[in-house]
Amino acid sequence: MGHFHDKTMQAAFRYAKSQTAFYSKSFYFSSQILPADKKWDTFALYSFCRYADNIVDNPRNRADAELFEEVASVSRELQIAYRRGESEHPVIKPFIEVAKRRSIPFEYPNDLLDGVKMDLLQNRYETFADLYEFAYRVAGVVGLMMTHVLGFSDKEALIYAEKLGIAMQLTNILRDIQEDKNMNRIYLPLSEFKEFGITEDDIKNERFTYNMYRFMEFQVERAHRYFEEAQPGIKMLDQDSRFAITSASRIYRGILRQIERNGYNPYLGRAFVSQGKKFAILFNEVMKTRVLQPVTAMLASFIG
C-alpha cells in the first residue's frame, strides 16, 4: 500500500482486507498470488460487495422496508462518490478509489445494489432466465468489476468474466439449498421442478428422492458448464492475474465436486473445500507463477 500517503485511505484498505479475510477464505486465499496493488484493490472490491450482500443476508431485526431504505442510501452515496471521486463511507471510500483508477463503470456496482433489492422483493424464481437476471446482478457484475482490477487485453474477456460470476453464484445456490430454504428462499427455477417431478415441499421437508438426485445432477452439470465456458477468458487477463483466477475457479469447482461426492444430496450440510485442499491448489498455482512462468520466459528468450 506504499502508493497511499493518506493514512485514512490506508486504514480503509486495511478494513477492506479484514472483511475479505473474515467473510471469504476462498477469495482471500486466491488473492494472495496477485501483485500487491491488485491484491489490495481486490480487497476493496470484495468488501463493498460483501457489505451490500450483508444488508439482506444479515437483516438483524429490520423490516424489509427498512432494509430497502438502507440499500437505497448506499446507492445514493455511491452515485455521489462516482460524481465527486471520494467518500467517507467505510466501504465506499476504498472502493471508489479503485473504481476511478481502474475505470469500473458505475452501472456494475449499481446493478449489484439492484440485485440486493431484488433479493428483498422476491424469494422464488420461475425460470432459469429469471434466476440468471438475479445471478448476473449479484455475481456476474462482480466478475466484470474484477476483470477491470485484474487487467485485460481484449474486451471479449468481459463476456467470459460474466460467465465465471454466474458459475460461482450457481455454485453458491447449490451449496446453500438447505440454509436458504430455512429462510424461505428457494433460488432453483420452479419450472425445472416440474420437469424433474419434484416440488417445493420436497425441498422444505428435505426429501432426497431419485427425482431430486437427477435434478441436482442437472444443476451441478450446468454450473460446471459455465465454469468451462468461462475458461477461455483467463488467457485474456494480464499474465500476473491469471493464476489467481485459476485458483479461485478451481476452489469453487471443488464445492461442486464435494456435492458430487455427497451423492448430490443437498441436505448433508454445507459442501466446502478443506483448508488443506485450498492450500494445495494455491501452492500449485504459486509454483506456476513463481517458478514455471520465469523459466518459460527465460526459455523463450533463448529460443528467440
**Residue pLDDT tens, the chain, 304 long:** 656 668 999 999 999 999 999 998 878 888 888 999 999 999 999 999 999 999 999 999 999 999 999 999 999 999 999 999 999 999 999 999 999 999 999 999 999 999 999 999 999 999 999 999 999 999 999 999 999 999 999 999 999 999 999 999 999 999 999 999 999 999 999 999 999 999 999 999 999 999 999 999 999 999 999 999 999 999 999 999 998 899 889 989 999 999 999 999 999 988 877 767 666 665 565 555 554 444 333 333 334 4
**Are 249 and 139 part of one and the same domain?**
yes
137 and 95 co-located in one domain: no
Same structural domain for residues 48 and 164? Answer: no
Residues 96 and 132 in one domain: no
pLDDT at 287: 58
Is the residue at 295 inside a domain? Answer: no
117 domain residue, yes or no: no
Task: Match 439449498 to its residue by C-alpha cell.
Answer: 177
* Same-domain pairing of 159 and 58: no
Do 8 and 147 belong to one domain? no
* pTM for the whole structure: 0.90
Count Cβ atoms within 10 A of the Cβ of residue 9 and give its class: 0-12 exposed, 13-18 middle, 19 or more buried: middle
In a domain, 284, yes or no: no
* Residue 129 belongs to some domain of the structure: yes
Positive or negative, the CA dihedral 210, 215, 220, 221 is positive
Q: What is the DSSP letter of 89?
A: S
> Does residue 97 share a domain with residue 171?
no
Residues 144 and 86 in one domain: no
Count of domains observed in the chain:
2
Q: Indicate if 132 and 265 belong to the same structural domain.
A: yes
User: What's the CA gap between 231 and 225, in Å, rounded?
Assistant: 10
Q: What is the CATH number of the domain that holds 174?
A: 1.10.600.10
Whether residue 126 is found in the same domain as residue 102: no
Do residues 143 and 31 share a domain?
no
Domain that holds residue 128: 122-273
Domain final position from 75, 106, 137: 106
Give residue 78's Cα distance to chain centre. 20
Residue 87 included in any domain: yes
* Alpha-carbon torsion angle 214, 168, 47, 44, nearest 10: 180
Query: Looking at 79, 106, 133, which one is the last position of a domain?
Result: 106
